[in-house]
Structure 1
Amino acid sequence: MTVAILVSAALSALVLVLALLMPAFNSRTVPFGVRVPAARATDPAVLEQTRLYRIRVIVSGVVAAGIGIALFAVTAEPLLLSLSVLLLVTAWYACFFLANHGIRAAKAAGGWYDGVRQGIAVDTSLRTDPPRFPWAWLVPALPVVAATVVIGVLRYPSMPESLVMHYAADGTADRVAAKSVWTAFSLVFVQAGITALLAGIAALVVRGRADLDPARPAGSARWHRRYTMLSAKALLGLTAAIDLGMLGSSLIMWTGTVARWSALVIVVPILAAVAVTVTILARNNRDRSEGEDTGMVHRDDDRFWRGGLFYVNREDSALMVPRRFGIGWTLNLANPRVLILLAGIVAVAGVLVTIR
């Protein structure tokens, strides 16, 4: 029970801090997912919407925490505390959409793009000399997967005939299954699937389309290369942490023993890796290069971004593009290949839900 409370509190705190700081991490020319000229980045409408957004996020965090605590007090079910995290994430995006709508309205009413020179910058060297996939950063994850397989094979003959597939919040077993290759190695299959999936996403990130600033084409191209490699390395490092957690879960299943703090020992490294990954990407999420000024601005491409979050552009062959709000990358939902990637994610998630 204590573990569930601590994990829920840590997740809520992480989400709340990230939500409050996110406007400062994103590019000044896309406040809350709305493309604006650089001269309008500090417009009173933008500053006001940023202030209102943070107030709404804080209020939402207090309300979400109150709901979670109230449900826990009534039901004594620790897992319901995670509902506060879900409510906070939902409220976060609601606050975002309100700010997005407010800035879009001010942009349209003020004619912010009237009389400005719009352009597109392209770095052809990204085609002839693209960033290299950081294979060395995949090395930590692969031995963990291999070790899990080897340990499982060696322990299989001595495993209990009935394996515990799930533990309740108080540490008692609430679902068991007969020993078989599928049940004993179920988490190993998921572990391998997650590793392959995240490595594939890292490869797509490396080849993702650059969103270069036409006002600073050279500087933004250098930043894109650095950020691309940093994103891929962070994702692969997170993969290794998740694999370690899956190894710990497998050992609990195979031995049939669980200590009071077992879940915390497994979850904390993963949460720490998530926090480190988010911190690194957030600190480097904005292009801060200076010294260039071509006099041009990004073209007004809001029509391709639904609500400032979802990229839908049939004219763009890219599968992944930089996010306009938040950190990392997002999918071009108009690209048919997205269905294949989403199918893989859904398949891994479905297997994980089924076996746990």
Structure 2
Amino acid sequence: MNNLLIPSFMVLIVAATGILMAAMPWLEAHGQCFSVTVPGAAASDERLVALKRRYAVTTLALTALCSVVVGVVFAADATGTAGIAVLVAASLVLVIVPFILMQVARGRVQAIKATEGWRAEHRLHVAALGEADLPQAVPLAWELLHLPLFLLVLVLGFVLMPSMPDRIAIHFDLAGTPNGWIDKGPAVIALPLAIMVFLAITMAACHLAVLRSKRGIASDAPATSAYGYALFVRAQSMMLVVLGLALNLVLALMPLTFAGILSPNASFTAAMVVAAGAVVGCAWLAYAYGQNGSRAVKLLSEREAGATGSESLNFDDDHFWHLGVFYANADDPAVVVPKRFGIGWGLNWARPASWLVTLGLIALCAALCLAVFLLL
């Protein structure tokens, strides 16, 4: 395997994770600060800005340290055994520590909110009109584009199977040494196909969740936030389709590697390029759009909020957000809701359907593991 490619890619994963976590306070939806509802005019409050900067600087320093450690270990570890362990540890550190920092900052924002008397005196319900004029998400039917890739892996598998060796290497360490084999037979086709079907179902489920999600509309800037959310949903749905198809295209070419037409190094490089593109693409979308499209329409939202007087709150549901990230509201019929601190969507844990969805995903993962075990 490429001795430079692997450490570089692993450092990219760590760096992208840390940078995205550091930028999270600036990517939150309009009217949010560390998962606390605040007036739109409070976005420039020096105390809140100072908290954001302190959080970001600490997280970036930690990211730099973790990136260096991961790069050095992977560069020195030929097999990748120690490198993988360090990568997992670094990834956990870059999730757990920023979460703790976020909780500390959240507590201070809540204290500032109480001191300033920022509270909703009444509850304002907002509806977005003219949805037909808003940008539209990619239709769910686009997920059917996975079907030709299923056909491709079947055709390649059957055509190339006679030229494949009796024992086929399907797993390699980071030095390029094979450490897992499979006998030539139906499993050569079934293995990549099973993984492809799993990915397609997962991407389609995520796509459906995005389409059916609760709209993230700011009560003090309903028009521009509705437009921003529509842009956000369209971008995220496109990303899901493109990412899913790219990953399955790489998997569909596995029979070429089994038959020796593509070298393992070439296949690995292709997979790394797609994975790196996914990491960079997701990070760029997060930066360009922000949560709920808040960055895409930032100036417009601020102008609308200023025109409607956003020095006070007309909506506050902080009590439904436990630790600022877990939403539970039995009176809300929505199952999929926009995240408070993060990019994307989460579940309403007060709805039984959320637990069914979670169990369904666990069952799907278990089914894939069982299928791979039986095939091997």
The TM-score, its normalising length taken from structure 1, stands at 0.85
Instruction: After TM superposition, list the pairs within 5 Å mapping 1:108-147 onto structure 2.
Output: 108-113=114-119, 118-123=123-128, 133-135=138-140, 137-138=142-143, 140-147=145-152
Deviations 1:287-318, CA, capped at 9 Å, x for gaps:
43345344464521111112222222222121
| 2:323 aligned with 1:317 | no
Instruction: Give the aligned CA root-mean-square deviation in angstroms.
Output: 3.1
| 2:13 aligned with 1:11 | yes
Q: Which amino acid aligns with 2:328?
A: V
CA distance in 2, matches of 1:153, 1:224: 46
CA distance in 2, matches of 1:245, 1:329: 27
SS of structure 2 residue aligned to 1:169 = coil
| Structure 2 counterpart of 1:105 | 111
SS of structure 2 residue aligned to 1:333 = coil
Instruction: After TM superposition, list the pairs within 5 Å mapping 1:1-356 onto structure 2.
Output: 1-68=3-70, 77=80, 78-83=83-88, 84-113=90-119, 118-123=123-128, 133-135=138-140, 137-138=142-143, 140-182=145-187, 184-253=189-258, 255=260, 258-284=263-289, 285-286=293-294, 287-288=297-298, 289-290=300-301, 291-292=303-304, 293-295=307-309, 297-350=313-366, 355=372
Deviations 1:65-95, CA, capped at 9 Å, x for gaps:
3543565588653434523334323333333
Greater mean alpha carbon deviation, residues 211-220 or residues 74-83: 74-83
**Residue 168 of structure 1: how far off its partner (Å):** 0.9
SS of structure 1 residue aligned to 2:169 = strand
Deviations 1:292-347, CA, capped at 9 Å, x for gaps:
34446452111111222222222212121112222222222222222333234334
CA distance in 1, matches of 2:265, 2:237: 35
SS of structure 1 residue aligned to 2:44 = coil
CA distance in 2, matches of 1:53, 1:311: 23
CA distance in 2, matches of 1:351, 1:282: 35
Q: Which amino acid aligns with 1:106?
A: I
SS of structure 1 residue aligned to 2:34 = helix
Contact 1:213 1:220 in 2 (8 A): yes
CA distance in 2, matches of 1:34, 1:107: 9
Contact 1:134 1:229 in 2 (8 A): no
Q: Which amino acid aligns with 1:223?
A: G
Q: Which amino acid aligns with 2:178?
A: A
Contact 1:311 1:333 in 2 (8 A): yes
CA distance in 2, matches of 1:345, 1:198: 12
Contact 2:31 2:39 in 1 (8 A): yes
Q: Unmatched 5+ residue regions in structure 1?
A: none
SS of structure 2 residue aligned to 1:160 = coil
**Residue 135 of structure 1: how far off its partner (Å):** 4.8
CA distance in 2, matches of 1:245, 1:352: 18
The TM-score, its normalising length taken from structure 2, stands at 0.81
Q: How many residues align?
A: 354
